[in-house]
Amino acid sequence: MAVVTGASGGIGAAIAVELARLGADVLVGYLRAGPGAPGPDAVLAGVRACGRRGVALEADLRLAASAALLFDAAEQELGPVSLLVNNATGWSLQDTFSGADADRFGRPLVAVGAESFDAHVAVDARGGALLIAELARRLPRDGAGGRIVSISSGGPGGFPSEVSYGAAKAALEHLTMSAAAELAPLGVTANVVLPPITDTGWVTDAVRHAAAAAGQRVAEPAEVARVVGWLCTDAARLVTGNRIRLQ
Q: Identify the CATH number of the domain in which residue 7 sits.
A: 3.40.50.720
CB 70 within 8 A of CB 128: no
Indicate the pLDDT class of residue 202, thresholds 50, 70 and 90: low
Domain that holds residue 144: 2-245
Q: Report if pTM > 0.85.
A: yes
CA–CA gap between residue 105 and residue 227 (Å, rounded): 28
Q: What local confidence, expressed as pLDDT, does residue 218 receive?
A: 75
CA–CA gap between residue 169 and residue 190 (Å, rounded): 15
Indicate the pLDDT class of residue 36, thresholds 50, 70 and 90: low
What is the DSSP code string of the chain? -EEESS-SSHHHHHHHHHHHHTT--EEEEES-PPTT---HHHHHHHHHHTT--EEEEE--TTSTTHHHHHHHHHHHHT----EEEE------SEEESS--SB-TTS-BEEE--HHHHHHHIIIIIIIHHHHHHHHHHHS-TTS--EEEEEE--S-TT--TT-HHHHHHHHHHHHHHHHHHHHSGGGTEEEEEEE--SB-SS---HHHHHHHHHTT--PBPHHHHHHHHHHHTSGGGTT--S-EEE--
Residues serving a catalytic function are: 165
Phi, psi for 212 (deg, rounded to 5): -65, -40
Q: Region 5-23: what's the mean pLDDT?
A: 97
Indicate the pLDDT class of residue 81, thresholds 50, 70 and 90: very high
When divided into structural domains, the chain yields a total of 1
Q: What local confidence, expressed as pLDDT, does residue 106 receive?
A: 83
